[in-house]
């Protein structure tokens, strides 16, 4: 697998993460919690990945690493750094290629083929790319921010001469010019950095050599979770040079486990409806939206539509769009209220109206009527 050159509107790699056991998640977490020495992280991970000849065991450990990296707490940032500095990526690539659920890490390894970046410039480029994605989210051009694995892959796959070059069309370039000249405050306390990002005709360039220091956790830390693991908007983050309190990682791990429990019961309507009554579930960024995407039960969709707390607020900002995209046969009357720029951006509504294969025909027709009423 080779990660292609991608625009800033590239979605995160892989919608379905591997679902490792709690035992393996804790096994991986323990490797990087006892020391701040990056060399010890790398050595401990190398020993664990080569400790058991079982391909299934290796795949589960890589799945746990991928999930924790996507969550993006200090543990995940350290593990991703340790993964990047492993001595044998060829062996890991063979294992990653056998499991579609490991696509994000497989894409990251494949991108190394043209020459791997050293960790500091890779981490610095990742921070800038996540920063730019946050600005695009606020401008309504992205639904979700980049998680660490996807951002690192795009930086590695598109670098050359000390820069990352990503293609942009004219319309996107106009928006980016405005965002770079007058950036919005980063959300959730994220210590974003847009320095070293510039536009030239057809490309946005991200400098990999200008002013980024080595991060204490290897990569920038995303405390509350990344889109690939939790499904929501760009997570809250700590400043890159600030140590993360242990309870922040504990909360992130609890959310991973709860997310796994909910999605493991996606086929059980009664259990799923009970979860949707639990504020601990519905407050996890993007989890309700992911339930909507995965379920094929009209009762679940109707419950989310009727209950305002399940489709409003920061954690559930992506729910209205997910409902309109759902192939489940829910009445147009129920869906009509979400066909409004109050719930879904005009850009996304246009995409839904023009998507003849992924959107129900009657939904696309109603959206088209609404868009015509705006002109």
For residue 183, being part of any structural domain is answered with no
Task: Kindly write down the DSSP assignment for every residue of 198-216, as one continuous string.
Answer: EEETTEEEEESSSSPPPPT
**Least reliable range by pLDDT among 95-104, 221-230, 269-278, 313-322:** 221-230
**270-281: per-residue pLDDT in tens?**
778 878 988 888
What is the predicted pLDDT for the residue at 6? 55
Q: Judging by DSSP bridges, how do beta strands 197-200 and 203-207 pair with one another?
A: antiparallel
What is the predicted pLDDT for the residue at 85? 94
Q: What is the mean pLDDT of residues 289-318?
A: 91
Q: What is the mean pLDDT of residues 333-358?
A: 90
What is the predicted pLDDT for the residue at 154? 94
Q: Show which of 98, 113, 128 is a domain's final residue.
A: 113
For residue 361, being part of any structural domain is answered with yes
Averaged pLDDT of the chain: 83
What is the predicted pLDDT for the residue at 246? 46
C-alpha–C-alpha distance, residues 41 and 265, integer Å: 34
Report the domain count for the chain. Answer: 2
Kindly tell me if the per-residue pLDDT of 109 is higher than 70. Answer: yes
Percent of the chain with pLDDT over 90: 45
Q: Tokens 């002013």 belong to which residue?
A: 211
Kindly tell me if the per-residue pLDDT of 9 is higher than 60. Answer: yes
**146-160: per-residue pLDDT in tens?**
888 999 999 999 999
Percent of the chain with pLDDT over 70: 86
CA–CA distances in Å: residue 252 to residues 72, 93, 188, 189, 223: 8, 27, 15, 16, 7
**146-202: per-residue pLDDT in tens?**
888 999 999 999 999 899 999 999 999 999 999 999 998 887 556 788 999 999 999
**Least reliable range by pLDDT among 37-46, 125-134, 243-252:** 243-252
Kindly tell me if the per-residue pLDDT of 227 is higher than 70. Answer: no
What is the predicted pLDDT for the residue at 119? 92
For residue 224, being part of any structural domain is answered with no
Count of other CB atoms within 10 angstroms of residue 342: 8
Kindly tell me if the per-residue pLDDT of 328 is higher than 80. Answer: yes
Element (H, E) at 197: strand 197-200
Task: Kindly write down the DSSP assignment for every residue of 124-169, as one continuous string.
Answer: HHHHHHHHHHHHHHHTTS-SSPPPHHHHHHHHHHTEETTEEEEE--
H helix runs in the chain, sequence order: 22-33, 38-49, 55-71, 74-84, 89-96, 103-110, 119-138, 148-157, 170-181, 227-230, 246-264, 269-275, 279-282, 287-294, 298-306, 319-325, 332-335, 346-354, 361-374
For residue 343, being part of any structural domain is answered with yes
Q: Show which of 45, 80, 113 is a domain's final residue.
A: 113
Kindly tell me if the per-residue pLDDT of 137 is higher than 50. Answer: yes
Give 140's pLDDT tier (boundaries 50, 70, 90).
Answer: confident
What is the predicted pLDDT for the residue at 29? 85
For residue 356, being part of any structural domain is answered with yes
For residue 206, being part of any structural domain is answered with no
Are 189 and 238 a contacting pair, CB within 8 Å? yes
For residue 52, being part of any structural domain is answered with yes
For residue 293, being part of any structural domain is answered with yes
Kindly tell me if the per-residue pLDDT of 74 is higher than 50. Answer: yes
3-state SS, residue 373: helix
Q: Show which of 83, 113, 143 is a domain's final residue.
A: 113
**Residue 313 belongs to what domain range?**
265-374
């Amino acid at each position: 697998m080779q990660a292609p050159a991608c625009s800033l509107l590239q979605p995160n790699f892989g919608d379905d993460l591997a679902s490792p056991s709690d035992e393996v998640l804790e096994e991986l977490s323990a490797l990087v919690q006892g020391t701040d020495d990056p060399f010890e992280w790398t050595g401990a991970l190398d020993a664990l990945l080569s400790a058991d000849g079982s391909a299934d065991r290796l795949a589960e450990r890589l799945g746990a690493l991928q999930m924790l990296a996507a969550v993006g707490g200090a543990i995940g940032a350290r593990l991703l750094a340790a993964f990047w500095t492993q001595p044998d990526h060829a062996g890991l690539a063979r294992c990653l290629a056998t499991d579609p659920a490991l696509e994000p890490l497989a894409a990251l390894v494949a991108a190394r083929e043209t020459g791997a970046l050293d960790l500091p410039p890779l981490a610095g480029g990742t921070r800038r790319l996540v920063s730019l994605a946050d600005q695009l989210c606020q401008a309504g051009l992205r639904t979700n921010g980049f998680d660490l694995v996807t951002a690192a892959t795009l930086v590695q796959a598109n670098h050359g001469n000390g820069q990352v070059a990503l293609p942009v069309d004219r319309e996107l370039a106009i928006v980016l010019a405005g965002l770079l000249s007058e950036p919005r405050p980063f959300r959730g306390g994220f210590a974003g950095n847009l320095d070293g990002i510039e536009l030239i005709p057809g490309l946005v360039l991200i400098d990999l050599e200008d002013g980024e220091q080595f991060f204490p956790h290897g990569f920038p830390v995303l405390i509350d979770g990344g889109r690939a693991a939790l499904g929501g908007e760009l997570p809250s983050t700590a400043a890159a040079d600030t140590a993360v309190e242990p309870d922040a990682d504990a909360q992130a791990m609890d959310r991973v486990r709860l997310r796994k429990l909910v999605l493991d019961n996606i086929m059980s309507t009664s259990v799923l409806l009970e979860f949707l009554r639990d504020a601990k579930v519905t407050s996890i960024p993007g989890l309700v939206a992911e339930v909507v995407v995965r379920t094929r039960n009209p009762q679940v969709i109707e419950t989310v539509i009727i209950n305002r707390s399940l489709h409003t607020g920061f954690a559930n900002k992506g729910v209205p769009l997910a409902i309109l995209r759902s192939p489940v046969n829910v009445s147009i009357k129920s869906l009509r209220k979400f066909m409004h720029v109050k719930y879904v951006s005009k850009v996304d509504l246009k995409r839904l109206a023009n998507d003849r294969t992924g959107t129900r025909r009657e939904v696309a027709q109603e959206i088209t009527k609404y868009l015509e009423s705006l002109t």
